[in-house]
Amino acid sequence: MPATHQRRNPFAAVLAALVAALIALVTLTACGSDSDGDSATPTAAATSATPTTHEVVDMGGRHVTVPTHPNRIVTNYPAVTQIIFMLGGIERVVGVPLSNLTTLPLFKKIYPPLAQKKAVFGADTTTVNTETLLAQKPDLVVLTSGNQALVKKITDLGVPVVQIASFPDYKKLDDGVTFLADVLGGDAPKRAQQYVEYVDGNVATINKGLASLPSTDRPKLYYTANSPLNTEGGGSIIDNWSTLAGGVNVATAHGVTGTMKDVSAESIVQWDPEYVFCRDASSCRAIEADPRWSSVSAVRNKHLIVNPRGVFVWAARSAEEALQPIFVAKTLHPAQFTDVSVEQEIKEFYQTFYSYKLTDAEVTGILHPTQP
């Protein structure tokens, strides 16, 4: 029987050669990486690692190392708590000032867990309970700027502190919201950008509506801060929205500068404001009952206006300040803003920035507050 011969597959030979070459290449690479490390390639884990901290320059000008994603935050000012809420970071807040728990009931209604937060700071925002603070294991404390002793007291405890400047104008308000969003990380910067665009849009709407307003048609207004005879003048956001909305802040016009400044009843009578905006309903009630105010135009013409407040007071240093100039411009110059509905603005703001649908009754409560 003739001998049989197995036919060799040429493809098998090629495959064997490729495998041999691959083995040799792997061996050579391994040897090279063990030599002096110069040609070693970093691992995927090494290249994808992200820092757990980074440095920021806060609004007090301090260089601070903060967590890349702070998870346990304490605030000393209720408006800052509100801004963090707006930016989507409220779940990370573990400590608040006392006034976040005792005032502004709408905040607790919209976000009930607020009532369970720990009061780390007193109502004055500068008194801190260090034992309560440390018990929250904070990785970041956010303070209003200007109190270096408080900053030192907390940093000496080993807790990083960033400062938020008070908002003397809408540009600083935008800057503050943007800075806080950058510190929070995540999608907070995107939310902040949306807010800044909203504020800028309101400013543009007002400027357009008042573009042809003569200076003689700008009413004199007065703002009550802590009491009827306490106000804010030049360099404050009150002065900013007064001018923006087509009014004249009589305190500024008569040389008052700064925030929370006491003035005399005699000065008020002399200044004779045509409108009075009361931060608190109690101030408007006190003015109505005080005979020293009886000759003032705002009292005689029933232009005493309790300023709106929602999750926070609109008038002073909070993100809801975005609604204030629209409200004041519509109050002072209704003919120029017939197409603006303040009620609708409120509803859209709350839906957009708090994901909350207000009822008509809640809108009325915001526009006509009776509680502190």
Q: Where are the domains of the chain?
A: 53-197, 213-367
Q: Which of 23-37, 68-82, 322-336 has the lowest mean pLDDT?
A: 23-37
Angle at 206 between CA 204 and CA 207, to 5 degrees: 65
What number of residues does the chain have?
372
Q: What residue spans of 122-272 are helical by DSSP H?
A: 130-135, 148-155, 170-184, 188-209, 237-244, 250-253, 265-271
- Is-contact 324 314, C-beta < 8 A? yes
Nearest-angstrom CA–CA distance, 120 and 130: 8
Q: What is the pLDDT of residue 46?
A: 38
Q: What is the pLDDT of residue 50?
A: 58
Report whether pLDDT(79) > 80. yes
Report whether pLDDT(36) > 80. no
Distances, alpha carbon 353 to alpha carbons 112, 201, 265, in Å: 17, 15, 40
Report whether pLDDT(51) > 80. no
- Is 39 in a helix, a strand, or coil? coil
- Is-contact 168 236, C-beta < 8 A? yes
Mean pLDDT of the chain: 89
DSSP code, position 128? B
Nearest-angstrom CA–CA distance, 226 and 222: 13
Question: Tens digit of pLDDT for each residue in 111-132?
Answer: 999 999 999 999 888 999 999 9
Q: What is the pLDDT of residue 104?
A: 87
C-alpha closest to that of 67 among 171, 156, 137: 137
- Residue 204, CA atoms < 13 Å, CB-side half-sphere: 6
pTM of the entire predicted model: 0.84
Report whether pLDDT(68) > 70. yes
- Specify the fold of 213-367: Rossmann fold (3.40.50)
- Is-contact 98 122, C-beta < 8 A? yes
Report whether pLDDT(319) > 60. yes
**Domain covering 53-197 assigned CATH 3.40.50.1980 in the classification:** yes
C-alpha closest to that of 174 among 186, 160, 164: 164
Distance of CA 148 to the CA centre of its chain: 22
C-alpha closest to that of 117 among 140, 133, 93: 93
- Residue 164, CA atoms < 13 Å, CB-side half-sphere: 32
213-367 has the same fold as 53-197: yes
Q: Which of 92-101, 165-174, 328-337 has the lowest mean pLDDT?
A: 165-174
Question: Tens digit of pLDDT for each residue in 157-204?
Answer: 999 999 998 889 999 999 999 999 999 999 999 999 999 999 999 999
Nearest-angstrom CA–CA distance, 27 and 16: 17
- Name the range with the highest mean pLDDT among 5-14, 42-51, 276-285: 276-285
Confidence band for 39, pLDDT divided at 50, 70 and 90: very low
- Is 337 in a helix, a strand, or coil? helix
C-alpha closest to that of 312 among 231, 369, 250, 360: 369
Report whether pLDDT(21) > 80. no
Question: Tens digit of pLDDT for each residue in 234-264?
Answer: 999 999 999 999 999 999 999 999 999 999 9
Sign of dihedral through CA atoms 266, 267, 268, 272? positive
